[in-house]
Chain A
Amino acid sequence: MMARLAAVLVLLAAAACSGNHSALNPSGPQARVTANLTWGFFIVCGAVYAIVMVMLAAALMRRRLATPQTPAGERTLAVAVSSAVAISAVIVVGLAAASVAAGRGLEAPSNNEPVSVDVIGHQWWWEFQYTNDDHPDQIVDSPNELHLPVGTRVRIRAKSSDVIHSFWAPNLRGKRDLIPGVTSESWIEADRAGEYRGQCAEFCGYQHAHMAFLVVAESMDAFQQWLTSQRAPSQDPQDELAKRGKDVFMGGPCVMCHTIRGTIAGSKAGPELTHVAGRRFIAAGTLPNTPEALSQWVLDAHSVKPGTEMPPNALNPDDLRAVVAYLRTLQ
């Protein structure tokens, strides 16, 4: 029984070290610094702990002295105790210095990053807005999916539209709070291509746990290609079902909250849907982006995320099928 429990614990601990949602599996320079610091602390503190335990055991085992301590022996003891105190002080100061040194440069952006993203927290989803000061028509809004070019520093501007959230992609960097009314600047960089999971790390309400996002780190070329494709407006649907779905969308409650560029839908209350079919997940990392999940989400979002601001929509089955068919055309 104990052996099995120990095995499970070891496996759990090992699982925490890998995977795409772990601070101990760094894929960016910031995460690498903090991971090294963590291991440094672990090794030093572990060694200290082991030495102290050995000394304690030795002290407990030792026989009590038969004769009283001589002055020379007392001096030796005093020297031993003061050296131990000195070594402890040096270790503590050293750890503090290492921590301060690691923290330097981890947050402040240099202001000449080629790519800049506004990270905006909403209850309960993420908005990643690729800013473009020279060409406002080329701003790209990517809900719940953050694309990063590998090996390039990306500036992030953290904002919130309602309550305090926290942007946290542990493989890439530490947490950054999103505070309503305040824009805080920082940066992020991935140095290995891959997909990483991010998550809100500050309790923000009922569906805080279902507020995740996907980070896609790809080569600069792939990133630029993605950005260009995202800039394009939506195409008009071709087949009959999707055409009907567009009518249902534009004539129903959907149009009150969502934007689909290239159509009359332009509200910013909910996530933009111009390229929704290209995303891996819907509902902030909660459901896979399949027709079935999409139908469930449109019909009764509260059965998936109770309390979400997406209302239930009593569409009849034909309209529902049509809307989902339309959304699937939005590549």
Chain B
Amino acid sequence: MMRVALTCCALATIGLVACERESRSFHERQVVAARAEVATQTPLTIGGPVPPTGTQSPFQGNAVGVSDGKRLFATYNCSGCHANGGGGIGPALMDDQWIYGYEARNIYETILEGRPNGMPSFRNKIPDYQVWQLVAYVQAMSAQVPIDVAPGRDEHMQVRPAEPITPFKGRKQTGHR
């Protein structure tokens, strides 16, 4: 009897843990930029060292962070050139064509340092945690974040199910809902 009760308690605890899918920080502190922690062979790289391969946005699996990134995408007028991800003056962000790489660290670099022919550098203009939120949202536009994390579809230009770039194993990938 005792054992059954204990098992039930343990199961209930595990169940409760599953309730917290993600959490939202109400007190952002200035995160030290990922780039500062990286050891490099030479300091002569343009714009300094790049975050290491495999670096993920801390908001990659966080629906609140991704939707904050979506808000910031409008606030900082990214749509002025990228037109809600469809591209215009700047390249489209919702397809599988990436000039400078689709990984989180590449997008982070692109926002922070800018790219030739138009993409400005937002270094010192956008706080680091917000850059990572933007990174997560840009990844969401090309279906690189889990489907339950991606923000809701907009009423303007819609993306058809994106070509999966990093397919999620065992899950039907349909891009935006």
Once the chains bind, are B76 and A256 in contact (CB under 8 Å)? yes
On whether the beta carbons of A313 and B75 are closer than 8 Å, the reply is no
> Of A255, A269, A303, A312, which contacts B30 at CB under 8 A?
A312
Query: B169 within 8 Å of A by Cβ?
Result: no
A226 interface residue per 8 A CB criterion? no
> B27 contacts A311, CB within 8 Å?
no
Known contacts A253-B125, A253-B127, A256-B126, A307 near B26 by CB under 8 Å: yes
Interface residue from A251, A257, A302, A313 paired with B26 (Cβ < 8 Å): A302
Question: Considering only CB atoms and an 8 Å cut-off, how many residues of chain B contact the other chain?
Answer: 15
**Residues of chain A lying within 8 A (CB to CB) of residue B76:** 256
Cβ contact within 8 Å between B26 and A206: yes
From B26, B77, B125, B126, contact of A306 by CB (8 A): B26
**Which of A256, A267, A313, A314: most chain B CB closer than 10 A?**
A256
What does the 1/0 interface line of B113-152 toward A look like (CB < 8 Å)?
A: 0000000000011110110000000000000000000000
Q: Is B156 an interface residue (CB 8 A)?
A: no
B30 proximity list for chain A (CB < 8 A): 312-314
Whole-angstrom distance between the alpha carbons of A307 and B28 in the complex?
Answer: 8
In-complex Cβ contact of A256 among B29, B125, B129 (8 A) = B125
Q: Which residues of B contact A253 (CB under 8 A)?
A: 124-127
* Total cross-chain contacts (CB, 8 A): 38
Please report which residues of chain A, range 225-282, place their CB below 8 angstroms from some CB of chain B when the two chains form the complex.
251-253, 255-257, 267, 269
Which residues of B are found within 8 Å of A252, using beta-carbon distances?
Answer: 124-125
The reply to whether A313 and B125 contact each other, CB–CB distance below 8 Å, is no
CB proximity of A296 to chain B, nearest CB, Å: 14
Query: A206 vs B25: C-alpha distance in the bound complex, in angstroms?
Result: 12
**In angstroms, how far is the closest chain B Cβ from the Cβ of A16?**
32
| Residues from chain B with Cβ under 8 Å of A306 in the complex | 26-27
A311-B125 contact given A206-B26, A269-B75, CB 8 Å threshold: no
Cα–Cα distance between A251 and B130 once the two chains are bound (Å): 17
A302 CB contact (under 8 Å) in B27, B124, B126: B27
The 6 closest A-B pairs by CB, nearest first: A306-B26, A307-B26, A314-B30, A311-B127, A269-B75, A302-B27
List the interface of chain A (C-beta within 8 A of B): 206, 251-253, 255-257, 267, 269, 302-303, 306-307, 311-314
Provide a sorted-by-A list of 29 A–B residue pairs whose CB atoms are within 8 angstroms: A206-B26, A251-B124, A252-B125, A253-B125, A253-B126, A253-B127, A255-B125, A256-B75, A256-B76, A256-B125, A257-B75, A267-B75, A267-B77, A269-B75, A302-B26, A302-B27, A302-B28, A303-B27, A306-B26, A307-B26, A307-B27, A311-B129, A312-B28, A312-B29, A312-B30, A312-B127, A313-B30, A313-B127, A314-B30
